[in-house]
Structure 1
Amino acid sequence: MFVGLDQHPRTALADPDPRTRPFHDLLARVPDPPGRPARIADLGCGTGNVTSLLAGRWPDAHITGFDNSGESLNEAEKLAGETSEGGRLEFRHADIGRWVPADPFDLIISSAAIQWVPDHLSLFGTWTRTLTGGGIFAFQVPDNAAALSHAVLRELCASSRWHDRLAPGVLPSPEVCDVQEYLDRLAGLGFTVDAWESTYAHVLPADDPFGGWVGGTGMRPVLNALADEPGAADEFLADYRARLRGVYPAAPYGTVFPFRRIFAVARRNAPA
């Protein structure tokens, strides 16, 4: 995933396409969970706007969003409560890297979150330990590390203007596995797996193509490192947008920005 272009869920939903399209594409491949009403967990729920889309699909479900950001959870609480067909939407504080489910779930889903969890592949067994027979574990992760956007960001951080402030280690490094690694691990845990890759060719508006994509949650450590210098964060982001425009040239219809993602939908096999 490209940390500089990782969007906050609230920002993403202001323009449903292209930034929430991966979640909708994931959800379209998720079958109905076995329980009724279903018990659903959203790992890394952020402000809960994406979590609330689950209530639109399963309005009688009991849905719990988990996140470790108090600020995001405060926003999410505005969405909490009963849903249209007697279900419930709630939010809890949890570091998903240490999360061990205490209750059974029929569906565990995560959108653009688990890439921030070190060695998350090894946690699949823990996360799905209480998943019911026929239950589903589904996720999508951005995988844009090889993109020009990453290279531009690294070069900018290492430039003479910023290298003293943005030493190695300030820029977070998401962890994404190969799609077959995800498939192999889940199959080994007793799941039937549908895994795939997609590269989206997002067409961004010509006037300010990257204005809505920089400054997201993945960029926070960088912006925090510049917070004590007035105007530095804005200067950094303006420079970054300018460099992006240099490597992603505009066409008459807009600026094409390729963005690759990995998806997996895994259904737990019922006992023989």
Structure 2
Amino acid sequence: MTTGTDLDAEHWLRRWDAQQERYIPDREELFALALDVVDRLAGTPARLLDLACGPGSFASRAAARWTGAEVVGVDVDPVMLELARRTTGERVRWVDADLSRPGWTDAVGGGPFDAAVSATALHWLPEPALPELAQRLASVLRPGGVFVNVDTVLADPGRPRLAELTRALRVERTDRGLATGEDFRTWWDALADEPALADGFAERERRFADRVTGGSSLPAWERALSGAGFAEVGTLTQTFDRRTLVAIR
């Protein structure tokens, strides 16, 4: 996917983490909490899956915490995967696969995994895709395994005033922190100027040309995960509609 090797991937990953922390100031604490949840509910994992792993921020922290674990990061974005490979490298097995299609479970090597995590990524999936994602996730997690999702999970649309309030407050509070400095779009625009990633960006544009995105509500996640056979599903922490959602297989 690259046209050269003169790419300072560590620089871009540091910038990625910095701009993500402007959206979620307690991001590092949430990462650590999610890994604590895995420890408490599933024990030290032998195999851990990072769904929509991006440039590997979450997967790299899991690999550093559990040095004997097999950590697998899966994403469909070739640019993000290239940054992940060039930073965390072979300590994590990186898988190029689309979570909205059936083949990703085979691509990650099937189950059983002890845990799956995800951070600030799965909100890109449209809500109708959740039941199939949950079914496939359940098929690769062992009984007693755990799924931890740190993400924007919208409030119950059946309570429209409260749902709109949580969304509006989250946007307003986020906007305050974005008045200056680099944000998500600025980071992507700058990265697109890297010659070494030209092929990756061309492939990314092809893959995402007709992609449907959206947001998903808490009831939709609860229905999908419970319907897939997860025994318990609940919100561990919440700031407006940013949640740490936990499901036990």
Q: TM-score, normalised by structure 2?
A: 0.59
- Determine the structure 2 residue equivalent to 1:244: none
| Aligned counterpart in structure 1 of residue 216 of structure 2, from 151, 154, 176 | 176
C-alpha separation between the residues in 2 aligned to 1:148 and 1:173? 22
Distance 1:31 1:182, change over 3 A: farther
Q: Gaps (5+ residues) in structure 2?
A: 1-11, 155-163, 176-211
**CA deviation after TM superposition for structure 1 residue 194, in Å:** 4.4
Q: Which amino acid aligns with 1:100?
A: W
**CA deviation after TM superposition for structure 1 residue 186, in Å:** 2.3
- Determine the structure 1 residue equivalent to 2:99: 96
Alignment size in residue pairs: 178
Contact 2:105 2:140 in 1 (8 A): yes
C-alpha separation between the residues in 1 aligned to 2:13 and 2:215? 20
C-alpha separation between the residues in 2 aligned to 1:183 and 1:70? 30
Structure holding more helix per residue:
2
**CA deviation after TM superposition for structure 1 residue 196, in Å:** 1.4
For residues 160-181 of structure 1, what are the alpha-carbon distances to aligned partners after superposition, in whole Å with 9 as ceiling and x for unaligned? xxxxxxxxxxxx8631212x44
Q: Which amino acid aligns with 2:105?
A: P
Structure holding more strand per residue:
1
C-alpha separation between the residues in 2 aligned to 1:57 and 1:51? 10
Distance 1:30 1:95, change over 3 A: same
Larger Rg: 1
Q: Gaps (5+ residues) in structure 1?
A: 1-7, 82-87, 154-171, 201-258
- Determine the structure 2 residue equivalent to 1:264: 245
Contact 2:17 2:57 in 1 (8 A): yes
Q: TM-score, normalised by structure 1?
A: 0.55
Q: Which amino acid aligns with 2:138?
A: T
- Determine the structure 2 residue equivalent to 1:231: none
Matched, 1:187 2:226: yes
Paired residue secondary structure (1:125): helix
For residues 126-147 of structure 1, what are the alpha-carbon distances to aligned partners after superposition, in whole Å with 9 as ceiling and x for unaligned? 2221222222222122147721
Q: Which amino acid aligns with 1:147?
A: A
Superposition RMSD on alpha carbons, in Å? 3.2
